[in-house]
């Protein structure tokens, strides 16, 4: 699994918006933001204004869980329909090694450009790349709900996002 934050935008604008409610300057708004970031009920709505674009390559079984998060998240993906028969698949296309004989069988259908059969045969460990556009509020919810999940990919995703984002203090509560 690979997770790379491509871009963040809107932090200054979120602080400006927050400063309106508290009649404060940027520095004052930042201090207020740190206090409110983890409160619900609209107190942390400024986190919705901080947009994040993330490049994620993950197995299908992870994406099926990620699809739980629909609010504040849009995705553009590598289309298996249009790309899966463009080249032979290798072990690098999977999160875990699959039996070589099975990979060879899939590649027979790849060679024949039989997209429907290839898609039907792909194991859940097949890696798919997506560009995800989300915001700090959605990431905060994901990290809170998935930080201790049984799938190791969730731990990796949370760690990568927290390590790469510009303001992790708004995503994870102080311990």
Q: Please write the tens of the pLDDT for every residue from 130-163.
A: 999 999 999 999 999 999 899 999 999 999 999 9
In the chain the domains, ranked by start, together with CATH numbers, are: 2-75+128-170 (3.30.1360.170), 85-124 (no CATH)
Output the CA–CA distances (angstroms, integers) from residue 128 to 35, 122, 144, in the order listed.
37, 11, 24
Average predicted confidence (pLDDT) for the chain: 90
Residue 79: Cβ-neighbour burial (10 angstroms; 0-12, 13-18, 19+): exposed
pLDDT band at 3 (very low <50, low <70, confident <90, very high): very high
Mean pLDDT of 101-127: 96
Helix (H) or strand (E) run with residue 76 in it: strand 74-77
Residue 175 has pLDDT above 70, yes or no: no
Residue 80 CA to residue 139 CA, distance in Å, equals 26
Q: Is the pTM of this model over 0.85?
A: yes
pLDDT band at 102 (very low <50, low <70, confident <90, very high): very high
pLDDT band at 53 (very low <50, low <70, confident <90, very high): very high
């Amino acid at each position: 699994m690979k997770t790379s934050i491509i871009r963040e935008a809107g932090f200054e604008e979120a602080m400006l918006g927050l400063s309106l409610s508290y009649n404060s300057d940027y520095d004052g708004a930042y201090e207020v933001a740190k206090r409110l970031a983890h409160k619900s009920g609209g107190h942390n709505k400024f986190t919705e204004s901080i947009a994040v674009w993330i490049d994620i390559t993950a197995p299908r079984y992870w994406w099926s869980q990620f699809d739980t998060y629909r609010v504040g998240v849009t995705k553009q993906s590598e289309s298996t329909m249009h790309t899966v028969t463009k080249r032979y698949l290798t072990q690098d296309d999977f999160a875990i090694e699959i039996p070589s004989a099975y990979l060879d069988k899939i590649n027979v259908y790849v060679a024949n450009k039989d997209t429907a059969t290839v898609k039907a045969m792909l194991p859940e460990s097949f890696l798919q790349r997506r560009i995800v556009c989300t915001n700090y509020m959605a990431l905060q919810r994901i990290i809170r709900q998935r930080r201790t999940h049984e799938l190791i990919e969730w731990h990796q995703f949370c760690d990568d996002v927290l390590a790469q984002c510009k303001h992790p203090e708004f995503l994870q509560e102080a311990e």
